[in-house]
Each structure stands twice: as structure tokens, then as C-alpha cells.
């Protein structure tokens, strides 16, 4: 008997301690969630929903705004009672009497947990809880998030009136097709203001809150009508409609009309995406830059941006689709060579994905021969070569691995002047020249242009773009800016400054300064050679009609057994006013997804189209040099000017001697490397 009593006592003690532990956990959790709720930005929700971040262009004109997950904000008096009653009847019948949560809803959720074996299936949340989730929490389903949601709902009820909460909820709800808020949804689906909705239309919008895609009347009219009729029945049960009124609404035809006009953020999507991404690098979160009412002053030129987008909208400007219908991707970026400010950008073809992959700024592909001016020809000029120096054009092998570059044409001329080697993108001459000046000389030159090569890529193949980690159009446009502006490397950027809602400047890029990386005469000589690219070289088919442009083309080969074509194609072209870098290729390259043929049917048409669109709006500043071929022809000996001819011969002799000394030096240095 004594043992039994002792056993019962011990059990009682264990139960008591268990209860105490559970109560302690509950109290601690309550204290924690209460603290989290009280320190959340509950007070700022309404102002956040009402404000928007304004984007200004390079001339300080409004270019658009960032709304994030919110639409045109309207007060409750501007929202038809029909939509209010439909939402209350479906989402939260006790809204005006509950404390922000529903005991029945919580019990229903717990029952669902049991039925679905611990899986959180959603539902059971009041309108206040949904507002808390949509504005202060993530959409992730978890026990922790559900608990936070409940405590935040209580805090919302303390801070705001029921009228305010319902207004914020209706302005923040998602209604499909990229539309947030009841006002924009009314315009999108019915071509009218939210204040004008009737019972049928109000119930249709309320239906979409359950599933914006499944109950969308544009794509699924039958689903929308079925759900609408169910909600009209619930409104009768909730005494918001009579049976007669509900029946009339069920019989009404849904006349769809789209009068919705997206904010200007949709006009320049890739530029605005880039602004958000750059703001994050400056320490402002994505959520804040979208929602906190900043004024963002950018480098955008709306005219250039519009013209670039127009060129990209024409599929005829692009390579043919792959056999399975997959389209080639492409991207382009325009930069002010003086300031480094990005003037325009298109990050991909096809439907824009909000903050999706931007090929113009995030791509890492081989630059092909566009690397030659940066790695080979610029340092060659600095080491004694001249634009008309004679280069070797032979099929030669180099090093222990017998690296043997070949020309795309399969032909060789034995020798040719440097300006022709560059303009015609002669591979053998570029590799021969890099071998003469030294690979490390080329690597150091690239570094000055802001491009780093991995150790394993520091070899002769890099002269042709043979690198394992490639570069983006933004990186290439920045590098070529040094040729356009006389030798300075700028810092590319989308944002000039950001001012917060109080008027305080929180980001200031006015301190972005360019640094000299090459001498002005070297930049001038490089430009004179690269003018030939579009006059008589590999870029003639990409040359914009009526305009003089300098630059370089590039491509990367595919394995011979794939067929005749390339992986990537590039054009980087510039004037003194603008640098444009354009790339095209397949997102995933393989034997069935590569660019057929040459750049004439690939990247050339899009570059030509966008430049012909953009250049008329530029200042059209002239180059301060002639094409290298013209310069070479001007230096042809003239019998009437023997004195000048003698001096020219002396200069040529000195240059030749300097070139030979540099060649000997680099050959000797190579023996020790």
C-alpha cells in the first residue's frame, strides 16, 4: 500500500513539473512574441502603403516609381461596400468584433494540423492576421510564423482602427496579373474605379483572394463565376445581401475591360531592377528601397532606354530560334564614357522577370576577340609598336603544349599591319603579338581596365577570349570607355544619389571619379585602329548607317562536330558620347543550342538597330582622329617633301629599333619565366 501511494505521489510530482515547464515555455514564448510585436514597424505600415519611391532620370525628371507589392492607395470611402462585404463574408465574418484573431479559426487550424498530420495548410487567419503576414512577415508556412502573425495582429488592433485595417488590407491584397490593391484590380478587370463595383464584380474580386491565378476571370472565367456565386451565397448567409439580390448578381454577365495602366516602373524594367540591386550594394534593403519613399536620382536616359527596348522588341533583329523553338538570349548596356553612368540597359529577351537574371550585368561568358584591344594591342602600343607595325600572320605553335591558334577564315597572309590585324580580328597575329610582349604584360594591362584573369587563364589563349570565367557587357562597356574618353577608366553606376523621406542624402555617388589608365595618345591610336572594325573589318554588317563608330567584335567557337557556328557573339562599339556593349547567345549552350553561322546573322542586326535608334539623340561629337588606314595612306612618301620624308624615315627607324629592343627584352625575360 505504501509503495502504491509513493508511486502515485511521484507521478503527481512529475505531472506538476511537466505542467510548470509547459506554462513556463508558454509564458516565455508569449513574452518573446509580445516583444517582437511591440518592436515591429506596425506604426509605419499605413504610411509605407501610401508612399512610393520615386525614380529620377539623369536630368532630374521623374522617370517612374517603385511600388513593390502595393497598388494605387484609396480610402475606404472610395471602395464599394459590395467588395467590402464580399471580403468580410469570405475572409473574416467577425472582423469588426474580434481582437485581431479568431478562436474558431485557431481551433479550425489545429484540427487541420491533425487531419493533415502536422502539415500547415493555411487558412484560419483573420483579415488582420493576413495584413500582418503580407506587410511584416514572409509567406513561409511555419509554426513560428503563425505565432508571430497572431501577436502582430493583436498589436495592429491596438494601433489602428478596424476601418484602417480593412483599408490597408484591401489596398495590399494581390489580385493576379501583377496587380495589387482593389483600385488597380477594379481598373484591370472591369475598367472602373473600386467605388463603382457592383455585387457581382465585388464577389469576383473577393474570389481571387483565395487563388489569384485559379479564380482569375481573364484566364479562367468558369472558375471565377463558380467562386463568385459561392461568395454571393455566403453574403446572404452573412446578411449582406438578400436572396433576391444575390440571385440577380449570379445572373449578371461579367463584362471584362482592362483600363489598368502600370506605373512607369514597368516602362524601364531592367534599369529599375538594376537600381534596386545597386541600392542593396549601398546598404539599403530591397524592401526598404521599394517601400520607404526614397527619391532615387539615376543616370537613366529615357530616350536611349526606350530606343534600346524598341530594338529588342523586334524579333527580326535576333538569330533564329533553335530547332526546338528555344530563342537565343541577348543583352545590351549603354554607358556614358565620361562619367560611367549607365544610360540604358536591357537584361534579356522575352518576358521580364522582376529582379530576374540580368545578362547585361550578371553574365559571365567569354568575351571572344573583344578582349584583344585590352590585353594585346593597347600594351603593344605602350611597348614600342605602332598602329602600322608589321605583325606575323602564320599558323604557328607555341609552348610545351604546342598551342596553335588558327584564323576563322582559314587563310594566312604571312604578315600585315597592326590596324588590319585588329580590324579583321586576325587570331594568329594577336597571339603572336601577345607572345612577343609577354603574357604577364597582357594580364597587367587587363587589370588596369578593371578585368582580372584567374591564374589558370593567364596564357596565350586568353588573347582570343579563351578564359574559364567570362565577363558581362557592363564590364566590357566600362573597359572600352577608356578608349572613348581619352584614357580614363570610370566606375559604372546606375544611381547618382538617394534621398530618404526626411530629405537626408543617404547615398552619394558624386565621389565616383575616373582614373587615368592609359595615355591619351594610346587611346587615340587604339580608336584610330578600331574605326576600321566597322569600315572594312569584321563589324561592317553591324555598322550603323550614317554614323562613325569605333569598337570590336568577338565570338567564341563551338566544337567542330556541332556544326558551323559560335557559342557567344559580341559587339562593343563607341563614339565620344556613348559606349554600347551587346551580347547574344543561348542561355544554355550545347550541340543543339548554339548560334548558327556568323555574327552577320547573329549579333550584328541588333547592335546596328539599337545604334541607329540611339545615336540620333546623342550629341554626335566627332572623333579627334582618323581611321588608321587613312593615316597610313597619308604617310606614303611624297617626292615634293623630301625634308619631311627624311624626318619620317628617321622616326620610323627609331620606332623600329625601339620595337626590336622590346621584342628582345621580352624574349629574354620569357626564358626566366
Crossing angle for the helix pair 427-437 and 439-448, to the nearest 10 degrees: 100
Crossing angle for the helix pair 127-136 and 143-159, to the nearest 10 degrees: 110
pLDDT at 119: 45
Q: Is the pLDDT score of 26 beyond 60?
A: no
Q: Give the pLDDT confidence of 310-349 residue by residue, as tens digits.
A: 999 999 999 999 999 999 999 999 999 999 999 999 999 9
CB 346 within 8 A of CB 312: yes
> What confidence category does residue 25 fall into, taking pLDDT thresholds of 50, 70 and 90?
very low
Active-site option among 80, 102, 200, 369: 369
Q: What is the largest CA-CA distance in the chain?
A: 136
> What confidence category does residue 104 fall into, taking pLDDT thresholds of 50, 70 and 90?
low
Q: Give the pLDDT confidence of 494-547 residue by residue, as tens digits.
A: 999 999 888 899 999 988 889 999 999 999 999 999 999 999 999 999 999 999
DSSP state of 623: P
Q: Give the pLDDT confidence of 186-206 residue by residue, as tens digits.
A: 999 999 999 999 999 999 999
Q: Is the pLDDT score of 37 beyond 50?
A: no
pLDDT at 651: 41
Strands (E), 500-622: 505-508, 515-516, 550-557, 565-574, 579-585, 595-596
Query: How close are the terminal C-alpha atoms of the chain, in Å?
Result: 95
> What confidence category does residue 141 fall into, taking pLDDT thresholds of 50, 70 and 90?
very low
Quick check: is 545 catalytic? no
pLDDT at 599: 63
473 or 353, greater pLDDT: 473
In the beta sheet, which residues pair with residue 306? none
Q: Give the pLDDT confidence of 280-321 residue by residue, as tens digits.
A: 999 998 878 887 789 999 999 999 999 999 999 999 999 999
pLDDT at 672: 35
Residue the block writes with cell 563614339: 575
CB 329 within 8 A of CB 359: yes
Work out the percent of the chain whose per-residue pLDDT is above 90: 64
CB 87 within 8 A of CB 201: no
Q: Is the pLDDT score of 463 beyond 90?
A: yes
pLDDT at 664: 44
- CA-angle at 487, arms to 481 and 493, nearest 5°: 35
Q: Is the pLDDT score of 548 beyond 70?
A: yes
Helix, strand or coil, per DSSP, at residue 181: coil
Q: Give the pLDDT confidence of 197-235 residue by residue, as tens digits.
A: 999 999 999 999 989 989 999 989 999 999 999 999 999
Mean pLDDT of the chain: 85
Average the pLDDT over 578-582 and give the result.
Answer: 98
Residue the block writes with cell 614600342: 384
15 or 52, greater pLDDT: 52
Phi and psi of 30, rounded to 5°? -60, -45
639 or 187, greater pLDDT: 187
Quick check: is 91 catalytic? yes
pLDDT at 43: 59
671 or 248, greater pLDDT: 248
Q: Is the pLDDT score of 146 beyond 60?
A: no
pLDDT at 38: 44
Greatest mean pLDDT among 4-18, 105-119, 561-575: 561-575
Q: Is the pLDDT score of 469 beyond 70?
A: yes
pTM, to two decimals: 0.74
> What confidence category does residue 153 fall into, taking pLDDT thresholds of 50, 70 and 90?
confident
Among the ranges given (4-18, 83-97, 195-209, 229-243), the one the predictor scored with the smallest mean pLDDT: 4-18
pLDDT at 102: 62
C-alpha dihedral (375, 376, 379, 381), degrees to nearest 10: -150
162 or 636, greater pLDDT: 162
> What confidence category does residue 178 fall into, taking pLDDT thresholds of 50, 70 and 90?
confident
Average the pLDDT over 626-640 and give the result.
Answer: 76
- Cα separation, 187 vs 436, in Å, equals 68
- Cα separation, 655 vs 667, in Å, equals 18
How do strand 295-298 and strand 53-56 relate by DSSP bridges? parallel
CB 502 within 8 A of CB 295: no
pLDDT at 125: 82
Work out the percent of the chain whose per-residue pLDDT is above 70: 80
- Cα separation, 612 vs 307, in Å, equals 9
> What confidence category does residue 129 fall into, taking pLDDT thresholds of 50, 70 and 90?
confident
Q: Nine-digit cell at 156?
A: 495592429
Active-site option among 91, 277, 382, 612: 91
Residue 298: half-sphere exposure toward Cβ, Cα within 13 Å: 32
Amino acid at each position: 500500500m505504501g509503495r502504491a501511494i509513493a508511486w502515485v505521489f511521484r507521478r503527481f510530482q512529475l505531472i506538476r513539473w511537466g505542467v510548470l515547464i509547459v506554462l513556463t515555455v508558454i509564458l516565455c514564448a508569449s513574452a518573446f512574441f509580445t516583444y517582437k510585436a511591440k518592436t515591429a514597424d506596425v506604426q509605419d505600415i499605413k504610411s509605407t502603403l501610401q508612399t512610393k519611391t520615386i525614380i529620377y532620370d539623369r536630368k532630374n525628371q521623374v522617370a517612374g516609381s517603385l511600388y513593390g507589392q502595393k497598388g494605387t492607395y484609396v480610402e475606404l470611402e472610395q471602395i464599394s461596400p459590395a467588395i467590402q462585404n464580399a471580403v468580410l463574408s469570405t475572409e473574416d465574418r467577425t472582423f469588426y468584433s474580434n481582437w485581431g484573431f479568431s478562436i474558431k479559426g485557431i481551433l479550425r487550424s489545429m484540427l487541420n494540423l491533425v487531419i493533415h498530420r502536422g502539415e500547415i495548410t493555411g487558412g484560419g487567419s483573420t483579415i488582420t492576421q493576413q495584413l500582418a503576414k503580407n506587410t511584416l512577415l514572409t509567406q513561409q508556412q511555419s509554426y513560428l510564423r503563425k505565432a508571430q502573425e497572431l501577436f502582430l495582429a493583436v498589436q495592429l488592433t491596438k494601433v489602428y482602427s478596424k476601418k484602417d485595417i480593412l483599408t490597408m488590407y484591401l489596398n495590399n491584397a494581390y489580385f493576379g496579373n501583377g496587380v495589387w490593391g482593389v483600385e488597380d484590380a477594379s481598373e484591370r478587370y472591369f475598367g472602373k474605379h473600386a467605388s463603382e463595383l457592383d455585387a457581382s464584380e465585388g464577389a469576383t474580386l473577393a474570389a481571387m483572394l483565395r487563388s489569384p491565378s485559379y479564380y482569375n476571370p481573364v484566364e479562367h472565367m468558369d472558375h471565377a463565376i463558380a467562386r463568385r456565386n459561392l461568395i454571393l451565397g455566403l453574403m446572404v448567409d452573412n446578411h449582406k445581401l438578400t436572396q433576391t439580390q444575390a440571385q440577380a448578381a449570379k445572373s449578371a454577365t461579367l463584362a471584362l475591360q482592362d483600363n489598368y495602366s502600370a506605373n512607369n516602373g514597368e516602362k524601364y524594367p531592367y534599369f529599375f531592377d538594376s537600381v534596386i540591386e545597386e541600392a542593396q550594394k549601398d546598404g539599403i534593403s530591397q524592401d526598404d528601397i521599394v517601400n520607404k519613399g526614397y527619391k532615387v536620382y539615376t543616370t537613366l536616359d529615357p530616350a536611349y532606354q526606350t530606343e534600346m527596348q524598341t530594338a529588342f522588341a523586334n524579333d527580326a533583329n535576333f538569330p533564329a530560334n533553335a530547332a526546338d523553338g528555344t530563342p537565343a538570349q541577348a543583352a545590351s548596356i549603354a554607358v556614358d564614357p565620361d562619367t560611367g553612368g549607365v544610360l540604358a540597359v536591357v537584361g534579356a529577351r522575352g518576358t521580364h522577370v522582376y529582379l530576374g537574371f540580368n545578362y547585361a550585368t550578371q553574365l559571365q561568358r567569354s568575351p571572344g576577340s573583344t578582349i584583344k584591344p585590352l590585353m594585346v594591342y593597347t600594351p603593344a602600343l605602350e611597348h614600342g609598336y605602332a598602329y602600322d607595325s608589321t605583325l606575323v600572320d602564320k599558323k604557328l605553335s607555341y609552348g610545351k603544349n604546342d598551342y596553335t591558334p588558327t584564323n576563322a577564315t582559314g587563310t594566312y597572309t604571312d604578315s600585315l599591319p597592326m590596324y588590319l590585324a585588329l580590324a579583321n580580328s586576325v587570331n594568329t597575329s594577336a597571339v603572336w603579338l601577345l607572345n612577343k610582349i609577354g603574357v604577364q604584360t597582357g594580364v597587367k594591362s587587363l587589370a588596369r581596365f578593371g578585368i582580372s584573369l584567374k591564374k589558370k587563364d593567364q596564357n596565350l589563349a586568353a588573347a582570343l577570349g579563351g578564359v574559364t570565367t567570362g565577363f558581362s557587357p557592363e564590364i566590357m562597356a566600362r573597359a572600352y570607355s577608356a578608349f572613348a574618353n581619352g584614357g580614363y577608366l570610370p566606375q559604372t553606376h546606375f544611381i547618382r544619389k538617394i534621398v530618404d523621406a526626411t530629405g537626408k542624402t543617404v547615398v552619394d555617388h558624386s565621389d565616383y571619379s575616373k582614373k587615368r589608365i592609359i595615355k591619351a595618345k594610346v587611346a587615340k591610336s587604339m580608336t584610330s585602329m578600331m574605326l576600321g572594325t566597322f569600315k572594312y573589318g569584321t563589324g561592317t554588317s553591324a555598322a550603323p548607317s550614317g554614323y562613325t563608330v569605333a569598337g570590336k567584335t568577338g565570338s567564341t567557337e563551338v566544337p567542330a562536330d556541332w556544326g558551323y557556328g559560335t557559342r557567344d557573339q559580341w559587339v562593343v562599339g563607341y563614339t565620344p558620347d556613348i559606349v554600347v556593349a551587346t551580347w547574344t547567345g543561348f542561355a544554355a549552350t550545347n550541340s543543339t543550342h548554339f548560334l548558327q553561322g556568323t555574327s552577320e546573322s547573329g549579333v550584328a542586326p541588333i547592335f546596328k538597330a539599337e545604334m541607329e535608334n540611339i545615336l540620333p539623340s546623342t550629341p554626335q561629337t566627332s572623333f579627334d582622329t582618323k581611321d588608321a588606314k587613312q593615316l597610313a595612306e597619308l604617310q606614303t612618301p611624297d617626292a615634293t617633301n623630301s625634308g619631311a620624308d627624311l624626318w619620317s624615315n628617321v622616326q620610323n627607324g627609331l620606332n623600329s629599333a625601339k620595337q626590336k629592343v622590346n621584342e628582345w627584352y621580352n624574349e629574354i625575360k620569357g626564358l626566366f619565366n
